[in-house]
Chain A
Amino acid sequence: MCSRTAGLRMSKLPKGAVVPFIGGMIIMGILVLLIAPENKSLPPPGGELRLPEKSQVGRAATLQEIAGWDIDIRPDGAGLPVGSGTVRAGETLYNEQCASCHGEFGESAGRWPMLAGGDGSLATHDPVKTVGSYWPYASTLMDYIRRSMPYGNAQSLSHDELYAVTAYVLYLNNVIEDEEFELNQKNFAAIKMPNAANFIDDDREISEKQFWQPPCMTNCAPGEARITGRASVIDVTPEAGQAPKVE
């Protein structure tokens, strides 16, 4: 009702009256822009916004609702589902649902991620980052499979299947060596990954401190600059003239 009334009122205004009104708005807008303080002086987001003490925000989440969505797993085993699966069972499942992209031995089919191999390659010119050569925690593998695999049919595996396929990928990486091994929520946290110790927290502000030095402005390097590499030599840029079809 309200909007209809407003619309009627607008249509009854003399045509000429609208124009100066809009013009005035624009002038006011420019004035506001000119005198508005810099955005920098605004309070930080949330800094001064407060809800009244007893405000109701959303509604209580039930335990059942949380259980349906709370699928994360941490390195300490927090979040592990109850279940178990053997390497052998995982092999069957892997060959059915994973090998078409990741390869029969985790070597990758085409350009999909390699899951196994690459041991000792991280310090070389061609590092191969796989579950075994790079990933620091086994929980990461299980958390990731649980939420996003198989690709295009996520969250479809049962808990037992999840343990089984996780065990098999660890087996492909020689992290688990016994093909009769059964992985479950009790023995999971005991699994250690070979590359776990090689991660460090962000230290850029210390190790790259030299990037906080005032820069040179004139005669900063001797001689003329020489071109040492050209993108056109590699020529992998998509053709500029070929735009994807848009409606």
Chain B
Amino acid sequence: MKDNRITGAIPRRSLLKAGLAIGGAVIGAPALAIEAPNPENQAPNVPDWSRYLGDGVAERPYGKPSAFEAQVVRRDVEWLTASRESSVNFTPIHALDGIITPNGLCFERHHAGTAVVAPADYQLMIHGLVDKPIILTLDDLQRLPRINRIYFCECAANSGMEWRGAQLNGAQFTHGMVHCVMYTGVPLKIILEAAGVKNNAKWILAEGGDAAGMNRSIPLAKALDDCLIAFKMNGEALREENGYPARLVVPGWEANLWIKWIRRIEVGDQPWHAREETSKYTDLLQGGTARRFTFVMDAKSVITSPSPQAPLKHHGQNVISGIAWSGRGAIKRVDVSMDGGRNWIVARLDGPVLPKALTRFYVDFEWRGQDMLLLSRAIDESGYVQPTKAELRQHRGVNSIYHNNGIQTWHVQPDGGVENVEIT
């Protein structure tokens, strides 16, 4: 196989560094990080791919992204956790567009690694305050009425490293614990009604089959409202790292509740106060009290490009692209500021605007190489306006870890490089 495909491609980072050096030498002419094409492949020359046969249809029984997209992968931050089995990696949101996250790029958060469950072995037990305790197989689940819904799924700790200040240089790391896919699944209501929920029931406990036995208490009203037991994402079976063969979907609420490899639902009359709803996933406020059962994800947005991993490369016409979402419903509006929040314009929402799903926004603009402080601000259908980080800290202090939905600032520099900053 000819491997001239990579010829001429210099890693963006080294170019950026080179650009900075040149920028220092030639005053007033900062170098942008434009990748140089291979002249042999440019008109009027005829490149190899126009002459020779490519791979046949048997080469890719399951297709993968182009080799040129090899940098678009989930990444982790090694210093963040003690072990990679109880850790997280991040969706490369800086390189994605639209509202759907490809399955292989959905962030992973495990507490005891990925459980591998054979579909034939899968069981879902429903018991507790029900008339008939039942066990369903995967086949049983897939014979029940099913629906399709697009929802975002955001870890409560997304942006958690940024409470005390700008820390990580990349939208992937600051905001990448979110993904959005179309789920196919059975409304939990149908399953609970089949088991017959007793009158005194108020909560459910959802439990995973992984080695963490991940367990969370969820109000029964939510379980009967819009929760799903999902077995497909974006049309295909769930990925193992996302709960194969079945997971709980809890629309608009923090991702830790979306129990993967779900094996058991117990119906009860009070919450269980499990470790992940007491020791973790509670929000420590200034003064030492902590909020618990903070399920809903507040409205949030981030500009995904330009961002530190996606610098501007050309003067003239450019696109600001970003995502917004809210656990309280649909996004109503997104505002963008280019001057550090002094003045705002209304961004263009494009693609489906669905409740509790990512919504894509754009601002088409002209860039002349000026310094910019880029911000975005989401407003949802409840009227909630994404707060600044300062406003959030004023209410909660800096020890919450979870639920940081403060407005992100990107500093765009004259060479096109972008940095995560905090501003007045």
Choose among B85, B165, B190, B213 the residue that contacts A147 (Cβ–Cβ < 8 A): B213
**How does the 8 Å CB contact mask read for B134-162 relative to A, with 1 for contact and 0 for none?**
11110010001101011000000000000
A46 to B71, CA, bound (A): 40
Choose among B124, B150, B165, B190 the residue that contacts A46 (Cβ–Cβ < 8 A): B190
Contact in complex: B145, A49 (CB < 8 Å)? yes
Contact in complex: B278, A198 (CB < 8 Å)? no
Choose among A70, A232, A236 the residue that contacts B79 (Cβ–Cβ < 8 A): A236
A199 to B165, CA, bound (A): 26
Interface members, chain A 137-175 (any B CB < 8 Å):
137, 139-141, 143-144, 147-148, 151-152, 154-155
Which one of B135, B278, B341 has the highest number of Cβ atoms from chain A below 10 Å of its Cβ? Answer: B278
Min CB gap A148→B, angstroms? 5
Choose among A72, A101, A238 the residue that contacts B266 (Cβ–Cβ < 8 A): A72
Given contacts A72-B266, A111-B82, contact A198 B289 (CB under 8 A): yes
Interface members, chain B 234-271 (any A CB < 8 Å):
263-264, 266, 268, 270
A164 to B76, CA, bound (A): 37
A144 to B224, CA, bound (A): 27
Contact in complex: B292, A199 (CB < 8 Å)? yes
Asked whether A214 is an interface residue with its Cβ less than 8 Å from the other chain, the reply is yes
Give the contact stretch, choosing among A20-28, A85-93, A177-185, A201-209. Answer: A201-209
Contact in complex: B75, A238 (CB < 8 Å)? yes
Choose among B133, B149, B272, B292 the residue that contacts A72 (Cβ–Cβ < 8 A): B272
Contact in complex: A58, B289 (CB < 8 Å)? no
Min CB gap A232→B, angstroms? 6
Given contacts A57-B134, A140-B273, A212-B382, contact A227 B422 (CB under 8 A): yes
Choose among B83, B167, B212, B288 the residue that contacts A154 (Cβ–Cβ < 8 A): B212
Cβ–Cβ < 8 Å partners of B424 in chain A: 221, 225-226, 228
Asked whether A5 is an interface residue with its Cβ less than 8 Å from the other chain, the reply is no
A246 to B190, CA, bound (A): 40
Given contacts A74-B273, A123-B286, A221-B341, contact A61 B134 (CB under 8 A): yes
Contact in complex: B373, A225 (CB < 8 Å)? yes
Cβ–Cβ < 8 Å partners of B268 in chain A: 74, 78
Contact in complex: A61, B135 (CB < 8 Å)? yes
Min CB gap A208→B, angstroms? 6
Interface members, chain A 228-243 (any B CB < 8 Å):
228-232, 234-241, 243
Asked whether B201 is an interface residue with its Cβ less than 8 Å from the other chain, the reply is no
A75 to B268, CA, bound (A): 13
Asked whether A96 is an interface residue with its Cβ less than 8 Å from the other chain, the reply is no
A210 to B225, CA, bound (A): 28
Choose among A51, A202, A246 the residue that contacts B295 (Cβ–Cβ < 8 A): A202
Cβ–Cβ < 8 Å partners of B147 in chain A: 45-46, 49
Asked whether B14 is an interface residue with its Cβ less than 8 Å from the other chain, the reply is yes
Choose among A213, A218, A227 the residue that contacts B423 (Cβ–Cβ < 8 A): A227
Asked whether B287 is an interface residue with its Cβ less than 8 Å from the other chain, the reply is yes
A104 to B266, CA, bound (A): 36
Which one of A46, A147, A207 has the highest number of Cβ atoms from chain B below 10 Å of its Cβ? Answer: A46
A148 to B11, CA, bound (A): 43
Asked whether A59 is an interface residue with its Cβ less than 8 Å from the other chain, the reply is yes
Give A101's nearest chain B residue, CB to CB. Answer: B82
Given contacts A201-B293, A202-B295, contact A72 B207 (CB under 8 A): yes
Cβ–Cβ < 8 Å partners of A76 in chain B: 270
Contact in complex: B213, A155 (CB < 8 Å)? yes
Give A203's nearest chain B residue, CB to CB. Answer: B291
Given contacts A72-B266, A123-B287, contact A230 B421 (CB under 8 A): yes
Give B207's nearest chain A residue, CB to CB. Answer: A72
Asked whether B354 is an interface residue with its Cβ less than 8 Å from the other chain, the reply is yes
Min CB gap B33→A, angstroms? 12
Q: How large is the interface on B (under 10, 10 to 19, 20 to 34, 35 or more residues)?
A: 35 or more
A226 to B424, CA, bound (A): 5
Cβ–Cβ < 8 Å partners of A148 in chain B: 111-112, 211-213
Give B375's nearest chain A residue, CB to CB. Answer: A225
Contact in complex: B134, A122 (CB < 8 Å)? no
Choose among B166, B278, B421 the residue that contacts A137 (Cβ–Cβ < 8 A): B278
Cβ–Cβ < 8 Å partners of B102 in chain A: none
Given contacts A144-B274, A212-B384, A237-B168, contact A243 B354 (CB under 8 A): no
A136 to B278, CA, bound (A): 7
Cβ–Cβ < 8 Å partners of B339 in chain A: 224-225
Give B92's nearest chain A residue, CB to CB. Answer: A243
A71 to B275, CA, bound (A): 14
Cβ–Cβ < 8 Å partners of B293 in chain A: 201-202
Give B279's nearest chain A residue, CB to CB. Answer: A135
A111 to B63, CA, bound (A): 39
Given contacts A39-B352, A140-B273, A243-B75, contact A237 B136 (CB under 8 A): no
Asked whether B48 is an interface residue with its Cβ less than 8 Å from the other chain, the reply is no
Interface members, chain B 378-424 (any A CB < 8 Å):
379, 382-387, 391, 395, 398-399, 411, 419-424
Contact in complex: A218, B344 (CB < 8 Å)? yes
Cβ–Cβ < 8 Å partners of A154 in chain B: 112, 211-213
A230 to B373, CA, bound (A): 12
Min CB gap A74→B, angstroms? 5
A158 to B266, CA, bound (A): 23
Give A155's nearest chain B residue, CB to CB. Answer: B213
Cβ–Cβ < 8 Å partners of A135 in chain B: 278-279
A9 to B2, CA, bound (A): 39
Choose among B226, B284, B309, B423 the residue that contacts A44 (Cβ–Cβ < 8 A): B226
Choose among B14, B75, B287, B294 the residue that contacts A244 (Cβ–Cβ < 8 A): B75
Contact in complex: B133, A61 (CB < 8 Å)? yes
Contact in complex: A224, B340 (CB < 8 Å)? yes
Which 3 A-B pairs rank lowest in CB-CB distance, beginning with the nearest?
A225-B340, A46-B187, A147-B213
A-B contact pairs, 28 of them (CB 8 A): A40-B354, A44-B226, A45-B225, A46-B224, A46-B225, A49-B190, A55-B194, A57-B140, A57-B195, A58-B136, A59-B135, A60-B133, A72-B272, A74-B273, A75-B273, A125-B398, A129-B284, A134-B290, A137-B278, A154-B212, A200-B292, A202-B291, A204-B298, A215-B385, A217-B335, A231-B166, A238-B77, A241-B71
Q: Given contact pairs A78-B268, A147-B207, A232-B169, enumerate 18 new A-B contacts (beta carbons under 8 Å).
A: A38-B352, A49-B190, A50-B190, A57-B191, A60-B133, A69-B125, A73-B272, A74-B272, A110-B82, A135-B278, A154-B211, A154-B213, A212-B384, A229-B165, A230-B420, A236-B168, A241-B71, A244-B73
